[in-house]
A and B are shown apart, each in its own frame.
Chain A
Amino acid sequence: MSVFDRDPDDRVQVLDVDGELVGDVPDLSDAELVALYRHLRLARHFDERAVNLQRQGRMGTYPPLAGQEAAQVGSAFALADGDWIAPSYREHAAVHVHGLDLSDILLYWMGHGAGGWDTDANVLPAAVPIATQIPHTTGLALASKLRGESEGSESPRKPGEAGDAVACAYFGDGATSEGDFHEGLNVAGVFDVPAVFVCNNNGWAISVPRERQTASPTLAGKAAAYGIDGVQVDGMDPLATYEVTRAAVEKAREPGDRPRPTLIEAVQYRFGAHTTADDPSVYRDEDEVAAWRRRDPIPRLERFLRETGRLDDEVVDDIEASVREQVTEAIDRAENAPRPDPEAMFADVYAAPSTELRAQHDHLNRLRDRHGDDAFLKE
């Protein structure tokens, strides 16, 4: 039975919470399975270091992802290079899998304007407002469909515009309450576009629990209102999230009898705070956190890979060492990046700056000459 024929609350699982196989292993090679595991470890370690950087005053406010690695990595693993991602602000792991450099991700949270854009990856800027990236995803997918159907188009194509690119949105449970969620999914359904909407339902929109976010029994069930497929998956099971996303991507790319768009509700939990500026102890119980920690995706996959002979102590140790080294290098690169020049503030506001903008730019430069940069900087 297709995963799309299941009821919205019939949660797809491949590994149970103990890492025991309860479904079909996806069609991934041993090396790919180990690579997936390494990405989970990388994401967790990156996240721990990033939180510490913020605590030490070396980085600004940061939204942690611990607990949510499987949904991000598993789903991004199912995308082809030419596919598109429109992320929210918490998808550090997904966008890294899709090609963004870790140091560029850090630079964004260190307040550098251009952080994250030294790349060819088809990743839109992290959307900090809520749900706004969902209609963009519909548009990316609509453009892909239009290009694919307009034979003989002579306009130049960029990577991922070949006509079969799939667009994938990431957003949280809270985002499903915003108007843009409704509008984006509705338009996607009407135009039957190749889009995958991954809802990382981590249980809490800052202090508001999922059951106070909507009276709907599931988020996946909302797909029915748009005439598209909705499927719920254990978002802390990396193999299940991979498999469900793979199926959704395949269906988006190769139109068949089913609607092309899919809403995936990946049920998971954020172990940490909403951001480093948040204190979750005000609104949720430690018992609840502890219960969800038992579903941690990393030991689950590790146990499965060890028991099936794909992973041993030596490989795990190598992965741990290489992950540490990679994150340290990324932090070094980000911290050694020079403070952006104030010129950067005026760059790229328009393709060609207006006379007024040039005048303001000149004015700032005169002020800097007259008073020195120390007169501006507070630290």
Chain B
Amino acid sequence: MSTETQNLTLVQAVRDGLRTEMQRDEDVIVLGEDVGKNGGVFRATEGLYEAFGDDRVIDTPLAESGIVGASIGMAAYGLRPVPEIQFMGFIYPAFDQIVSHAARLRTRTRGRFTCPMVVRAPYGGGIRAPEHHSESKEAFFVHEPGLKVVIPSTPADTKGLLASAIRDPDPVIFLEPKLIYRAFREDVPAGDHTVPLGEAAVRREGSDVSVYTWGAMTRPTMEAAENLAAEGVDCEVIDLRTLSPLDRETIVDSFEKTGRAAVVHEAPKTGGLGGEITAILQEEALLYQEAPVERITGFDTPVPLYALEDYYLPSPTRIEDGIREVVDFP
């Protein structure tokens, strides 16, 4: 692996990841609405159309089911399609294709046909966007056997996880935290760079409480952890990175050390991944548990329009408050 790096934002890392994989493997095809000439509404595919041409960077009609359904056919044929859905809130027309076909093509044909496809979609709130542009519905896809679900939180991970997703033999839902598309830069390895799927990252080591999060919530969680450190509360922050399959080992190892846990996600509480992580702790480490697991999440309401979204999304203050509940128990 090259030791050369580039200082990139998260969205630039998406672009660099796509470009690198397209250079590496001519079967990798990008398709979606406005991904070509326009370079994507977030500029995630900027320059790819010029670099690879309209056979490999395809502007499609406005048809999510058509985009993903066609990608499934392309994948079955042997290509590596990377369809983009412009916002996660617009993925639902493609839901049938994803859950009824992409997720089960391998099992349905006993491996004769497979679906090595990566569906990219920006997700999440906090950018003052119109209705349906702030959804965080990862749990829908985690619930579907046969899919993998990945959410990066840093530029280097974005490139590395995207490369791994593209090379993966199974369909991956790759959700990009658009709130932090341009929030910060970091050094990203140039050229070939992968980060394995299914492995969480410990972002901050600590001994008092394990805080599990991912994507755009990683930054406010880290901020809360630093604020709490000043009060003498030592948080271990774990960025799950892959939500399906979950890295049970890292989740459980941390909890066995701390005995206390909180989960931070911006999706609604009920049916969210916080419940699944809590269940893993119950199954694997009940006797280590010293406090109820706190879920610091979006509310069980539609994502409000932007005048109220600051109340909806977990903020550092709310995260600190929730972690204190855990640490102060009983």
Contacts and interface: CB of A to CB of B under 8 A. Distances in A.
B165 to A, nearest CB: 26
A108 B270 CA distance: 27
A89 B299 contact: no
Contacts of A349: 300-302
Nearest to A108: B305
B72 to A, nearest CB: 15
Nearest to A370: B321
A212 B307 contact: no
Contacts of A52: none
A177 B33 CA distance: 12
A111 B128 contact: yes
B300 A178 contact: no
Given A128-B132, A357-B301, A110 B310 contact: no
Indicate the member of B41, B60, B90 with the most A CB atoms within 10 Å: B41
Nearest to B60: A208
B77 interface: no
A177 B61 contact: yes
B51 interface: no
Contacts of B60: 208
Given A213-B62, A360-B269, A60 B129 contact: yes
A60 B128 contact: yes
B38 A283 contact: yes
Interface string B84-106: 00000110110000000000000
Interface string A203-238: 001111000111000000000000000000000000
A157 B327 CA distance: 57
Interface stretch (B11-19, B23-31, B311-319): B311-319
A148 B256 CA distance: 67
Interface string A329-367: 000000000011010111001000010110011001001
Indicate the member of A128, A174, A346 with the most B CB atoms within 10 Å: A128
B317 A376 contact: yes
A277 interface: yes
A302 interface: no
A113 B311 contact: no
Contacts of A130: 62, 90
A113 B63 contact: no
B300 A360 contact: yes
B317 A112 contact: no
Contacts of A126: 131
A375 B317 contact: yes
Contact of B34 (A208, A356, A361): A208
A278 interface: yes
B39 interface: yes
A86 B271 CA distance: 32
A342 B311 contact: yes
Given A113-B304, A113-B307, A282-B39, A208 B312 contact: no
Interface string A223-259: 0000000000000000000000000000000000000
A158 interface: no
A129 B64 CA distance: 11
B232 interface: no
A180 B64 CA distance: 11
Contacts of B300: 349, 354, 356-357, 360
Contacts of A178: 62-65, 93
Given A207-B38, A357-B301, A179 B65 contact: yes
A376 to B, nearest CB: 5
A344 to B, nearest CB: 7
Contacts of B129: 60-61
A206 to B, nearest CB: 5
A174 B61 contact: yes
A251 B70 CA distance: 39
Chain B interface mostly: loop
A128 B131 contact: yes
A177 B66 contact: yes
Contacts of B89: 128-129
A162 to B, nearest CB: 31
B62 to A, nearest CB: 4
Given A208-B59, A208-B62, A214-B61, A378 B310 contact: yes
B42 to A, nearest CB: 9
Contacts of A344: 304, 308
A127 to B, nearest CB: 9
B130 interface: yes
B92 A129 contact: yes
Given A108-B305, A340-B308, A342-B308, A375 B61 contact: no
B112 to A, nearest CB: 28
B90 A113 contact: no
Contacts of A89: 130
Nearest to B303: A345
A290 interface: no
A208 B61 contact: yes
A367 B304 CA distance: 18
B52 interface: no
Nearest to B317: A375
A108 B93 CA distance: 24
Contacts of A356: 269-270, 300
A328 B155 CA distance: 45
Nearest to A63: B130
Interface string B131-158: 1110000000000000000000000000
30 contacts: A60-B128, A60-B130, A61-B128, A61-B130, A89-B130, A113-B308, A126-B131, A129-B132, A130-B90, A177-B61, A178-B62, A179-B63, A206-B33, A206-B34, A208-B59, A212-B61, A282-B37, A282-B39, A283-B37, A342-B311, A344-B304, A346-B301, A349-B300, A354-B300, A356-B300, A357-B300, A367-B318, A375-B315, A375-B317, A376-B315
Please list the 5 inter-chain residue pairs (A to B) with the smallest Cβ-Cβ separation, ordered nearest first: A111-B306, A207-B38, A174-B62, A177-B61, A111-B307
Given A130-B90, A375-B315, 14 more contacts: A129-B93, A205-B62, A206-B34, A207-B34, A339-B307, A340-B308, A344-B308, A345-B311, A345-B312, A356-B300, A357-B300, A360-B299, A367-B321, A371-B317
